[in-house]
Amino acid sequence: MSIAPPTYESFRVPEAATRSEDYLWTLNFGPQHPATHTTLRIVLKLEGERVVDALPEMGYLHSGFEKLGEHLTFNQYVTVTDRMNYISPMANNVGWHHAVETLLGIELTPRCKVIRTIIAELARISDHLLSNGAVGLDTGAFTFFLYGFYQREVIYDIFETLCGARFTNSYTRVGGLSDDATPLVIEKIRAFVKTFPKTLNDMERLLTRNRIFVDRTKGVGVLTKDEAIHRGATGPVARASGVTRDLRKDEPYLAYADYDFKVCCATAGDCYARYLVRMEELRESLRIVSQAIENIPAGPVNVGIDERTALPTKQQVYSTIEGTISHFELSMSNRGFEVPYEESYAATEAPNGELGFYLAGDGNDTAYRARCRPPSVLHFAMFPHLIRGHTLSDVVAVLGSLNIIAAELDR
Amino acid sequence: MPFTPPPVDDVLAALTDRFGGIESSVFRGQTRVIVPAEQAFEMLGVLKDHGFDLLVDVTCVDYLEYRDAPMQMPACAGHRYGLVYLLASTTTNQRLTVRVFVDDPEPTVPSVVSLWEAANWLEREVWDLFGIRFEGHPDLRRLVMPEEFTAHPLRKDYPLQGRGERHNFPVITRDHS
């Protein structure tokens, strides 16, 4: 069915609609709806049960994160990044401080790089578990979702042991981490690496060849490779369409260059391909974690206190003169980091796409401009393209497979 | 060693051939080029043909309160808004930042939606938060702020606490909804 995309006016003014459109239904989906999972709104135009067009609306959760970024220091703002993609806050923490350290020109210690890699991959696992679980949940597979959520609980437990917070971790700091990984954490991650494949196999057996699920997702919401690039898709959404782009391989940051893992791609570009890519990425992330956890380098986790970038520990502050000086230098309002009068962009491969931060420095401890490049915005913008011609029940499948998080969408 | 993206010398040479002297600079391995607003659309089109098929981001910086700093790019001195186009290539992994500077009272740049569909919402967001008009945009509405909002909140002259707009929003009652 080829229908010219209607303008915004045709949604707002019914009189402007043409005669053939008189038979169309308008259905409001969201902003408060269990299947949107987050606060977003879609105005659907239906012909019977078929979606003729969709008009996505966002902004219900806009809280001015980018404006806040101009008023909070580099270390304070990490708490705000927790609240962007709240499914995987650790990945945002890593992304934010990766951008800050790129601007400041800080080279991390090997131990810090490896621990950040591990937590970023654990965050990816927990994110994919939930986004795939949500696709399952919306298409009627509740058990699958519960299996995934139980494993997320295990990862929350690891994060709690690591930094004291389960959900909003705020774990990274400029030039280091808030806490070092203790042997107990490493033991817990080892146990997770051992037990998780069994659950993963169970989950695959539950859903991957499930007739209902395959029928609901295969051929639904097809995104071709050219369209994916044209519309700025990144992450699993782009890889499911055959774009072999993974920043972990293409622009290896942290310690990713040291590990053996594959970039998971599919060519179909439908909801089922996106599900499969995420399932494969779970295994690859687990491979990275299992390689990294056995080879954590010894040594300090923070950049040395001489560099005056990472906050010293309390032990250092109270027992050494360098620690005391460094603490004051970083805490005093007229001192702080040496920020260049420059601008830089640094991106990480967050679980749902390329999460980048464009930072402008003006010699101050706070960014002059802290732009977050959220993958969700570009994915949500392509929603009408994906849903046109499908049925109303496919809306939730497509929406779930794009993994749109409204807090990251609106910032 | 931090990763340095592949060099973009070939692209810069091609741009120089086409447009004459191109102002460019490198910081942390990232190459930026500056282009006048009237040439922006043409140059971005040339860049797209040179393999920059992915538009990563369109954003803006308001230099109203930027202290007189020794910027590496002297062309932005005196301009208020600096638009940022982040381009990437999915085949060669090259990256390039294109800067376009515009000024009050009517900051306007040509829209690149016809080149990359990805620009659609990104440009709407810049219009919403900075008030920069994108000429030729198919649907330039506010993206994150409510429609009845009048200010552009990411401008530097807009206070963090706002100007009390939220107290004056019309309240929709059940009868009117």
**Contact flag A381-B118 (C-beta cutoff 8 Å):** yes
Give pLDDT tens digits for B39-96.
888 888 888 888 888 999 999 988 887 765 555 555 566 788 888 999 999 888 888 8
Q: Measure A258 CA to nearest chain B CA, in Å.
A: 12
**Contact flag B122-A105 (C-beta cutoff 8 Å):** no
A7 to A12, A13, B137: CA distances (angstroms): 9, 10, 13
Q: CA-to-CA distance for A297 and A177, rounded, in angstroms?
A: 15
For residue B177, being part of any structural domain is answered with: no
Q: CA-to-CA distance for A57 and A59, rounded, in angstroms?
A: 7
pLDDT at A219 (0 to 100): 87
Domain count of the fold of chain B: 1
Q: Measure B124 CA to nearest chain A CA, in Å.
A: 11
**Contact flag A245-B90 (C-beta cutoff 8 Å):** yes
Using an 8 Å Cβ cutoff, are B60 and B83 in contact?
A: yes
Which two tokens mark A394? 């496919």
pLDDT at B58 (0 to 100): 92
Q: CA-to-CA distance for B62 and A221, rounded, in angstroms?
A: 38
**Contact flag A58-B86 (C-beta cutoff 8 Å):** no
For residue B154, being part of any structural domain is answered with: yes
The pair phi, psi for residue A29, each rounded to 5°, is -115, 110
Beta-ladder partners of A28: A43
pLDDT at A188 (0 to 100): 92
- Max alpha carbon distance in chain B (Å)? 64
Substitution target in B121, B127, B139 with the highest count of A β-carbons within 10 Å is B121
Which two tokens mark B33? 């080029």
**Contact flag A347-B56 (C-beta cutoff 8 Å):** yes
Using an 8 Å Cβ cutoff, are A191 and A158 in contact?
A: no
Q: Report pTM.
A: 0.87
Spell out the domain ranges in chain A: 8-57, 65-302+347-410
Selecting from A58, A102, A257 the residue whose C-beta is nearest the C-beta of B28 gives A102
Selecting from B116, B139, B144 the residue whose C-beta is nearest the C-beta of A410 gives B144
**Cis preceding-peptide flag for B105 (omega within 30 of 0):** yes
Smallest CA–CA distance from B1 into chain A, residue: A107
**Contact flag B144-A344 (C-beta cutoff 8 Å):** no
**Contact flag A362-B67 (C-beta cutoff 8 Å):** yes
Q: Provide the b/e sequence for A210-241 (b: ≥16 CB within 10 Å).
A: beebeebbeebbbbebebbbbbbbbbbbbbbb
Selecting from A7, A368, A380 the residue whose C-beta is nearest the C-beta of B66 gives A368
Q: Coil, strand, or helix at residue A342?
A: coil
Q: CA-to-CA distance for A301 and A267, rounded, in angstroms?
A: 41
Q: Which residues of A touch B54 (CB under 8 A)?
A: 229, 232, 245
Reported ipTM: the value is 0.88
Q: How many CB atoms are closer than 10 A to CB A201?
A: 11
Higher pLDDT, B23 or A21: B23
Q: Number of A:B CB contacts under 8 A? A: 121
H-run or E-run covering A129: helix A110-138
Cα dihedral A246, A249, A253, A259 in deg (nearest 10): 130
**Residue B55 at interface with chain A, using a CB cutoff of 8 Å:** yes
Q: CA-to-CA distance for B63 and A152, rounded, in angstroms?
A: 43
**Contact flag A347-B3 (C-beta cutoff 8 Å):** no
pLDDT at A309 (0 to 100): 72
- pLDDT in tens for each of the 411 residues of chain A? 556 666 666 555 555 555 555 678 888 887 877 776 778 888 988 888 888 888 888 888 888 899 998 888 888 899 999 888 888 899 999 999 999 988 888 888 899 999 999 999 999 999 999 989 888 888 888 888 899 889 999 999 999 999 888 888 888 888 888 888 889 999 999 999 999 999 999 989 988 888 888 988 888 888 999 989 999 899 999 999 999 888 888 888 888 888 999 998 999 889 999 999 999 999 999 999 999 998 888 888 888 766 667 777 788 888 888 888 888 877 776 677 778 888 889 999 999 889 999 998 887 788 888 999 999 999 999 999 988 888 888 888 888 888 888 888 888
Domain at B132, CATH number: 3.30.460.80
pLDDT at B106 (0 to 100): 85
- Domain covering A65-302+347-410, topology: Cytochrome-c3 Hydrogenase; chain B (1.10.645)
**Residue B143 at interface with chain A, using a CB cutoff of 8 Å:** yes
pLDDT at A18 (0 to 100): 55
pLDDT at B1 (0 to 100): 54
Task: For residue B61, give its domain range.
Answer: 9-168
DSSP, res B25: E
pLDDT at A13 (0 to 100): 52
For residue B2, being part of any structural domain is answered with: no
pLDDT at A21 (0 to 100): 58
**Helix residue ranges per DSSP H, A139-182:** 142-163
pLDDT at A31 (0 to 100): 81
**Residue B51 at interface with chain A, using a CB cutoff of 8 Å:** no
Q: Measure A370 CA to nearest chain B CA, in Å.
A: 9
**Residue B166 at interface with chain A, using a CB cutoff of 8 Å:** no
